[in-house]
Structure formats: structure tokens, C-alpha cells
Amino acid sequence: MNFEFGTPKLPRPMRVAVITTFPAPYRIPLLNRLNTLAGIALTVLVVWSRHPTPDSALAELHVPYQSFSAHTMYLRDRHGDRVGLMTSPGLWGHLNRVKYDAIVALGWTMPNTLLARLNGALRHTPTILWDESIPHPPGKIKKTLLPLLRRYFGSFDGYLAASSWCREYMIAMGAAPERVVVFPQVADNYFFTQQAERWRASREEIKQSMGIRTRRVILFVGQLIPRKGVRTLLDAFHQVARQDENVSLVMVGAGVLRAELEARRAASPFAERIFIQPFAAQTELPKYYASADIFVLPSFYDTFGVVVNEAMASGLPVVTTQNVGAVANLVQDGVNGRVVAAGDVAQLAQTLTQLLEDEALRQKMGTNALARIEQWTIEDAARAFMECLTRCLASRKDFHSPSTSRSV
């Protein structure tokens, strides 16, 4: 698909570096698409705790990349989840040796983003912040540092916001509104739609292979960690299961709560209807979406939650919380899903029960979910990426020429 929009006509391809930790599988199709844009010469700088990066781990990334070893400091966030902050001295040396026209750094809290911003300032290289954060109450340390953080936030040349809530957050943190572009947090919609349709023909066989004997299935996909609200989901399922003997819960993922959830399942009177599956690769997820009737993401905080995209592309109604970034642009309460209060077991159970009892409503919401996600695509993200870059480089003499319509 091509887009036409007014941007400065550029005399040569822009050399752009994207700094990221090991890219999540759902990001790889997006990076591959950005690498095909006319006017872009992309390099991905991968920072992670092991070096070198095995080529097999990035086999699907069709973009020139370099990997850098990192020193990692681990902290606990306010939900008790472990967060790794990586710093790579080798990255600084690379940015000094290679001249890029623009640097895009993922994650404002990452030390390497600060490193990239400092390097950009010293070498007069436009630096763009790519982030997913959404408004949330600041902790004590953040409150104290807020004036300094706002100066830091406001220093970037451009901003790529994963959602409209993220855009609001960036502006509140000091970003100039005219520099912030909504850069949709996307999944490969076509892949999930096509694969879910393919697997749906084998829905009963898939359920049988997992040992599921019920007619309806509630699905969760994600990390089994406190922030994701998996304890809330298991508690809510117990309430649902007491009223409905024909529903099962499937949880797909890995994380620190797995052993606890397994123990709770073993002690549950509904153990035969609770299925905790291991982490699944992107290629394996469609069969789970195809076997489900409702998708649930009950997070206490999720900057976006791209599994929502995947579920919607698979034609499922989504039940999630008001603390999930995808709600800003994708989930409309009562239209293609339901939005509940995080941690409210009774409300989640009641909502799930209502949807389970109304097949026509589930089907309508699933259809609406698919229609909405078709308007939130990799192509939309590609257009936003180019728009942000050309805004940043418009004033550069070597890139400046009269504005014209450009095809992406």
C-alpha cells in the first residue's frame, strides 16, 4: 500500500539507526516494513545481555543489524515485577564511528536512550524518542525528579508515541505537541487473521489436544507476572466456573508466577477446566486464538498490550482493563469488547459470564474487533515513521527542498 502525504522531498536516503533491546517478535514485521520504505536506509542496533547475538535468534529480521553486549541492572517496579536496565559502552563507540542522519531510541527509561540523546546532542544528530508509556501516578522518586525528567523529555527532536494516551503522556512530560506523532503499536494483522481462520476449522481438534472438553474457552496470552493480573483472572474464573460448567480457562505464557498458578490449579475444584500452557512462539499463537471464545488481558498496567491486536485480528471480543494502553485506540467498551476495573474480581467475573451467555453478542463484538484492527496497521505505522523523520530533518540544509507529495 502506498500513502501520499506532504513532506519535504529528500535528496538521498536517510540513514536511520533504531536502538532497541532484543526486539519482541511482534516488532520484527514492523522493522522489516520500515526497511523497505523509499528514502530510508535502516540499521537496527540490538542491545542485550549476551553477545554476540545469535543469528538464528534474529532470523526473521530482514534489516541490517549490529548487536552490543550490555551491563544490566535489575530493579523491581511498583507491581513487584523485575525490570532490566541495560547500558552498552560499545553503543557509544559505534555512534561515534558511524554518522547517522537520525537516531530512534526505544524506551525513555532505558539508559541507552539517554546515551543516544547525549551523543545526538554532541554530534548534532536528530534524536527521536520511541515510547509506549501511558499516564499513571508517579512514584516518590519520579515525583522528586519530575522537573529534571521534563527537561530531558523535552530535549528530543521528535517523538513516536505508541497510542494516543502515550502522546498525552509525552506532552505532559515535556514534549512539544507538534513534534509528537502517533506511531501505532501494531501486530501483523494479516498473519493472525489468516492463520486464525485456518486453525478455526480445526478448533475441536485443538481443544481435544489440550484436553479441553467444554464448549467455550476463555483465553489469556502473556507473561505470568503480577502486573498482568493473572491472579485476578484465576479468581474470577472460579466464580464463572461455579455458574457455568461448560467453560474452560487457557493461560499461555511463562513467568515468575507459573509455579504459584500451577499449585492453585492443582488445588482447585475446577482443575480439569484450567489449562496453563507454556510460552508459545508467534507462529503457534493463532491456534490458541482460534480455539477461544473470549480473550482477556486483566493487567494492572500495560503500556499497550499487543496481544490485544492479535486477538482482535483473530476475530475475538476482548475483555481488558482501563490500565491497558490498547484501550485508548482499539477497545471500545460495549462495541468490540469490555473494559473493567483492574483487580476487580467480581466485575471481571460478571463481565465474562454475561459474554459467555450471549453468543450473538460475542460474535458481533468479534466482528467489530476485526473491523477496528483493520484500521490500525503496519502501513499506518510506516507513514507515521516517515512523517516524524521528515519533520526532524526538514530544517537540515542537506535535506531541505520545497515541500512536495511523497509516496511511501
Where do the domains of the chain lie? 4-186+377-407, 189-373
Q: Residue 305 corresponds to which cell in the numbers above? A: 498490550
State pLDDT tens for residues 290-333.
999 999 999 999 999 999 999 999 999 999 999 999 999 999 99
3-state DSSP call for residue 128?
Answer: strand
CA proximity to 21, closest of 96, 102, 141, 109: 109
User: What is the predicted pLDDT for the residue at 302?
Assistant: 96
Helix, strand, coil percentages, rounded to 5, for the chain: 45, 25, 35
Residue 129 carries which side chain, given as an amino acid letter? L
Would you state the CATH architecture of domain 189-373? 3-Layer(aba) Sandwich (3.40)
Q: Which CATH class is domain 4-186+377-407?
A: alpha beta
User: What is the predicted pLDDT for the residue at 138?
Assistant: 79
Contact in structure between 380 and 184 (CB atoms under 8 Å):
yes
User: What is the predicted pLDDT for the residue at 52?
Assistant: 58
Determine the Cα–Cα distance for residues 19 and 105; give it in Å rounded to an integer.
5
User: What is the predicted pLDDT for the residue at 136?
Assistant: 82
Sorted by sequence, the CB contacts under 8 Å of residue 237 that are 6+ apart come out as 218, 249, 270, 274, 349, 352
Residues of the chain with pLDDT under 50: 1-8, 401-408
Beta-bridge partners for 83: 75
User: What is the predicted pLDDT for the residue at 12?
Assistant: 75
Cβ burial of 235 (10 Å; 0-12, 13-18, 19+) is middle
Answer whether 4-186+377-407 and 189-373 agree in fold: yes
What value does the mean pLDDT of the chain take?
Answer: 90
User: What is the predicted pLDDT for the residue at 405?
Assistant: 36
Contact in structure between 88 and 1 (CB atoms under 8 Å):
no
User: What is the predicted pLDDT for the residue at 23?
Assistant: 86
